[in-house]
Structure 1
Amino acid sequence: MATNVLNQAAIDALKTAMQARFDKGLAQGTQDWMKIAQKLSSNSASNTYGWISQFPAFREWVGSRLHKSVKERAYQVSNRKFEATLDVPREALEDDNYGMYADLAYSYGISVDDLMNDLIYSGVTAGFSSICYDGQFFFDTDHPVYPNEDGTGVAATVSNMQAGAGEPWVLLCTKRAPKAFYLQERVKPEFIAKNSAVNSDGVFENDVFSFGGRWRGEAVYGFWQLAYGSKATLDETNFNANYKAMMKVKGDGNRKLGIVADTLLVGPDNLAAAETLIKAINKANGASNTNYSKVELIVTPWLAL
């Protein structure tokens, strides 16, 4: 009678190999989202961000302190749940031929970073039609800014967008403590083995050992003042206009915010124009390019339409 080579020790060895490869992939993924966003921890099904309405700044202390109340419009972001499932056929273990599945687990680890990149950069492109803390689209022409520092009075409107029909490109100020984008994380990435016994229901019914990745979280819009989005042509005129517009943005009470763009974010359609604008020392006519290295250039496939 043939010996059953599939035992608990073999299953445990598979689980150990899969976990190790997943962890290695997770560590070696490309976290492009961290170039423009910051992680926030979440402790419940959703987070409410009243504090985002208060751009941090000091003022002269005259009289009593100025206590700013949280805006009545609550900006609430619910966590979403994401998964990836990998089934290993029982015969792969019986034949000691499961190395390819360990390699897949490695790819699954990398795909966690792909998910986070996609969430943040998809949030950028969706910012022209998605609500942020002040009730306006994140990229919009009429963000309210109030005449008094406590957020009272009749608001004026400020724009941080340029209309157009092309692939979006965005100027960002990333080196300030507040951020334009955040990644809300409720549960860290984990890799789970569902079936760890030969006689488990999953193995009995489907003849597979199942493994799964899991993560909970969501992308969050932060301070619109730190971003200027455009769908117009990426050229010197539009770049200079948007760069200047960011420097002139003020907060409540006509307070200067001191914002200077340090990053140009583009997708593949704007790659050539961005390199001409930022990377070329001279213009086509031989004149000096005053925008040479003015900002850091980030090119990402996640911004493609």
Structure 2
Amino acid sequence: MLINNQTLTSLAQGFNAAFLRGFGSVSPSWNQIAMLIPSTSDAENYGWMKDLPGMREWVGQRVYNNLEAATAQLRNKPWEHTIAVKRDHIEDDKLGIYSNLFAIQGEIVARHPDDLVWGLLPTGFSTRGFDGQYFFDTDHVGFNRAKQEVSWSNTQGGAAAPWFVADLSRSFMKPLIFQERKKAQFVPRTNPADPHVFDHAEFVFGADARYNAGFGFHQLAVGSKQGLDATNYEAARVSLASQFRTDGSPLGVKATHLIVGPSNEAAALELLNAERNAAGATNVWRGTAQLIVSPWLE
């Protein structure tokens, strides 16, 4: 193949089409557990405010709720994936393999937000959230029905494979954050006069993006490393539901999803699908949550 601007432009278009084919083959799953936060800067500040009291009867003047906020920051990170195509391969028309290679690149790039978000979840036992506590901790600040400040726990401890119970019913409020500054894009570098081409006799085609993942609302998830059984599952559900605002009204959190890795899939299926438990009694937890089996977990 004769190498000139026209052939290189055509080649880049073909590689881009293959990239998009692979990219489009992926159905992202990160949005099940993370809320999308569009970003317009190198970092975004998150002010985590105390929960608002519930509605009150309007008698006399309005009551102004003064919000207390602690500022925390999530900084965007740049990401890239690049493939080099040798000049000799272009000249000799040895390009058959590259179509599949760039489709695979597209798939890798499209799956990366899933890698980032789901990979973050199990680190919550040892990583601090925006309230300064470990995301899964025993002493988050909470309140009871009597309007008293109490310690609220969203972890059960343990040392087994982690599993999680979460409220994923809201699109605008999730346990995790996916903060997007720039979507992934395909970038060809095909100038024959480029110093890289002169020094290495190859053209490069890459994808780049800017985003990051972080911890969001700890109130929406309980993490456990205890064995997955009915007793521990019930305790996690009760913990989620036992949250109240400063005025004593319920926070309204409920367990909608059970999230496990492959090693806990059988236990989760039995817990959520079996008609009867091991003792032969009615399984009261049947159908009480949707199951997510994540390959990013143990």
The 1-side partners of 2:184 and 2:241 are apart by 38
> Over residues 85-138 of structure 1, what are the superposed CA-to-partner deviations in whole Å (9 max), with x where a residue is unaligned?
110111221122223222222112211232111211122111111111221111
Match of 2:39 in 1: 42
Kindly provide the CA deviation profile for residues 2-49 of structure 1, in whole angstroms up to 9, marking residues without a partner as x. xx7222222111110111122222222131111111211011111111
Contact 1:55-1:223 at 8 Å conserved across structures: no
Aligned position for 1:139: 136
Show the counterpart of 1:220. 214
Aligned residue number for residue 118 of structure 2: 121
Aligned equivalent of 1:109: 106
Deviations 1:63-92 (A, max 9, x none): 324333241x31211111111111011122
Secondary structure (helix, strand or coil) at the match of 1:29 reads coil
Q: Does 1:11 align with 2:5?
A: no
| 1:1-305 pair list within 5 angstroms | 5-50=2-47, 52-55=48-51, 58-60=54-56, 62=58, 63-71=61-69, 73-145=70-142, 155-176=149-170, 177-194=172-189, 196-304=190-298
Is this contact kept in 2: 1:160–1:246, CA < 8 A? yes
C-alpha distance in 2 between matches for 1:58 and 1:270: 38
CA distance in 2 between partners of 1:262 and 1:269 (Å): 21
Q: How far apart, in 1, do the equivalents of 2:4 and 2:151 lie?
A: 69
Note if contact 1:87-1:210 (Cα within 8 Å) is conserved in structure 2. yes
User: In structure 1, how many angstroms separate the alpha carbons of the residues matched to 2:233 and 2:273?
Assistant: 14
Task: Report how many aligned residue pairs link the two structures.
Answer: 294
- Asked whether the equivalents of residues 156 and 223 of structure 2 are also in contact (C-alpha less than 8 Å), the reply is yes
Q: Cα deviation per residue 1:275-297 (whole Å; 9 max; x = unaligned)?
A: 11112233344433221121000
Taking structure 1 as reference, are residues 57 and 105 closer, same or farther at Cα in structure 2, changes over 3 Å only?
farther
Closer, same or farther: CA 146–281 of 1 in aligned 2, 3 Å: closer
CA deviation digits over 1:156-193, x for unaligned, max 9?
21111110001210001001242111200111111111
Superposition TM-score, scaled by structure 1 size: 0.90
Q: Distance in 1 between matches of 2:236 and 2:148?
A: 26
TM-score by length of 2: 0.92
Contact 1:202 1:208 in 2 (8 A): yes
CA distance in 2, matches of 1:104, 1:93: 15
AA partner of residue 90 (structure 1): R
- Identity rate of aligned residues, in percent? 33
* Distance in 1, Cα, partners of 2:55 & 2:115: 38
CA–CA distance in structure 2, aligned partners of residues 275 and 18 of structure 1: 42
Give the aligned residue type for 1:64. Answer: R
CA distance in 1, matches of 2:8, 2:270: 56
Give the C-alpha shift of residue 154 in structure 1. 7.8
Matched residue type, 1:255:
S
* 54 and 236 in structure 1: CA distance in 2 versus 1, 3 angstrom threshold: same
